[in-house]
Structure 1
Amino acid sequence: MEESITTLLAARAQTATICPSDAARAVGDEEWRDLMEPARRAARRMVARGELQITQGGAVVDPSTAKGPIRLRRAR
């Protein structure tokens, strides 16, 4: 899942974001909904390593407290 997130972001502009569902769809095809939580967990691991930021409404949020829709972007 982390590789999928990295690949999707690499294919976009430096300032672009993706939804965790983009990574889940890339990995899981028709079963992508079952992969939403694994995608969010992968994003949290990447945040912990300083590779990624999780945003809501354009603002960086704490991944442990974020609820609802989130976006993923490269760390800035």
Structure 2
Amino acid sequence: MVSVEELRRGVVDKLAARAPETSICPSDVARELGDENWRELMPAVRAAAAHLAEDGTVVATQGDDVVDAETAKGPIRIRRGPSW
């Protein structure tokens, strides 16, 4: 079982490893931390991103729109937030 803290750290670590203007897909984190059942981690990764967005560490987007990572319908991207 992957802890909430591991999921948050996974999101931050993935973003830190990329250029500042780029984004990640939640599946990038789920695939790294999960096994062949990584898809089961997707809701938890989105919840971790939503928590990180509360303090501005990250933002979740759909196209050019900022969305709530946990409640948005469809695919999202995660990028560095204003408090990165």
Structure 1 length-normalised TM: 0.90
Equivalent position of 1:67 in the other structure: 73
1:7 corresponds to:
13
Is 2:37 aligned against 1:43? no
Instruction: Name the TM-score, length of structure 2 as normaliser.
Output: 0.82
Q: How much has 1:50 moved relative to structure 2?
A: 1.2
Residue 64 of structure 1 and its aligned partner are, at CA, apart by 5.4
Partner of residue 4, structure 2: none
What is the identity, as a one-letter code, of the residue corresponding to 1:55?
T
Matched residue pairs, number? 76
Gaps of 5+ in 2: 1-6
Residue identity opposite 2:75 in structure 1: P
- Identify the structure with the greater helix proportion: 1
- Identity across aligned pairs (percent)? 50
CA offset at residue 49 of structure 1? 1.7
Please, which runs of 5 or more residues in structure 1 have no aligned partner? none
Partner AA of 1:24 in structure 2? A
Q: CA distance change for structure 1 residues 48 and 35 in 2, over 3 Å: closer, same or farther?
A: same
Choose the corresponding residue for 1:54, options 32, 56, 60.
Answer: 60
Aligned CA-pair RMSD? 1.3
CA distance in 2, matches of 1:56, 1:27: 23
Q: Where has structure 1 moved over 6 Å in runs of 4 or more?
A: none
Query: Separation in 2 of the partners of 1:40 and 1:63?
Result: 5
